[in-house]
A = this chain, B = another copy of it.
């Protein structure tokens, strides 16, 4: 019933066209040399709110009726989806409630508030978040927008590939980070429809490798105790996302923490682009031995998925 197609993604692109940025493709000689491939980096850290998440959130909110919008919107997120929904809600004059763990950083809370959203605090554990969601949804009557496990979110994130494949011809491989799987599912669906010969890979931290284990076993595996600096990729795969990923994704490349940090720093130092560690995981995968053994001298597309670096980063800098 949820048979998403390229046409859905093209319609999403039409919906978001006047509000989302058509982000640039970034190139860098020294990164190409190190990678041994020709890289085309889709700069989603330059998207509105600093991450691709705005595409899916806007696409989802734009399809609600005025009645639904007037009920308000609610989600659970300590990350980029929170900001994305807050901005999308503001644009449609809908009240937005964000449930965030108490431990979420001050800077992220401030960003969400700057878009006029209301924050509710919850505990850090999964069941506490779920309980808070139910409680506040009953209290507010707001419409729940899941951060990744929804067709409208997947369609919206898929527009990243729609743009990239229009910007760059003849890509051999396309690599995107995978957490909940909205971006990877949307991209795989789009790329395999537009360019059947293309390989689509997910890039995942070894410390949060449920997608790799799922693809290896053929069954969706739980994300147990994720441990990674790539905080945007700690989520487990969504059900709908997994149903698309298992059909359309060719491989998941896992990367160690030191590989993630190295790739992040490389982008900062050489490309002067402030990507967050989660946003550099696809590059870390492209730098990996596993990837380089499979591809040499090829045209590789990858997604810099976000640029919202932790506040510590700025605090440290301020003290120096």
Measuring CB to CB, which residues of chain A are less than 8 angstroms from any residue of chain B? 45-46, 50, 229, 261, 264-265, 268-269, 271-275, 307, 309-310, 312-314, 316-318, 320
Chain B residues with CB under 8 A of A314: 265, 268-269
Chain B nearest CB from A201 CB (Å) reads 24
Q: Within the complex, which residue of B261, B269, B272, B312 is in contact with A275, where a contact is CB–CB below 8 Å?
A: B272
Determine the chain B residues whose CB is within 8 A of the CB of A309 once the complex forms: 268
Q: Which residues of B contact A264 (CB under 8 A)?
A: 317
B-side contacts of A316, CB under 8 Å:
312-313, 316-317, 320
B317 near A265: Cβ-Cβ < 8 Å: yes
CA distance A120 to B272 in the complex (A): 28
Measured in the bound complex, the distance between the Cα atoms of B320 and A229 in whole Å is 9
Chain B residues near A269 (CB-CB < 8 A): 314
A274 to B307, CA, bound (A): 11
A50 surroundings in chain B (CB, below 8 A): 272
Chain B hits for A265, CB < 8 A? 314, 317-318
Q: Provide the bound-state CA to CA distance between A33 and B316, in Å.
A: 27
Contact status A46-B272, CB under 8 Å: yes
Contacts of A307 in B (CB 8 A): 272
Complex Cα spacing A229 to B265, Å: 22
Residue of B nearest to A279 (CB): B272
CA distance A253 to B229 in the complex (A): 41
Task: Give Cα distance in the complex from A317 to B312, angstroms.
Answer: 8
Within the complex, the shortest CB–CB distance from A282 to chain B, in Å, comes to 16
Minimal Cβ-Cβ distance residue in B for A270: B50
A307→B268 CA distance, assembly (Å): 9
Residues from chain B with Cβ under 8 Å of A273 in the complex: 272-274
Enumerate chain B residues within 8 angstroms of A320, measured Cβ to Cβ: 229, 310, 312-313, 316
A310 contact set on B, CB distance < 8 A = 320
With the chains together, A264 CA to B268 CA distance in Å? 15
With the chains together, A314 CA to B266 CA distance in Å? Answer: 10
The closest CB in chain B to the CB of A29 belongs to B48
24 pairs, CB–CB < 8 Å, chain A vs chain B = A46-B271, A46-B272, A229-B320, A261-B318, A264-B317, A265-B314, A265-B318, A268-B274, A268-B309, A268-B314, A269-B314, A272-B273, A272-B307, A273-B273, A273-B274, A274-B274, A310-B320, A312-B316, A313-B316, A313-B317, A313-B320, A316-B316, A316-B317, A316-B320
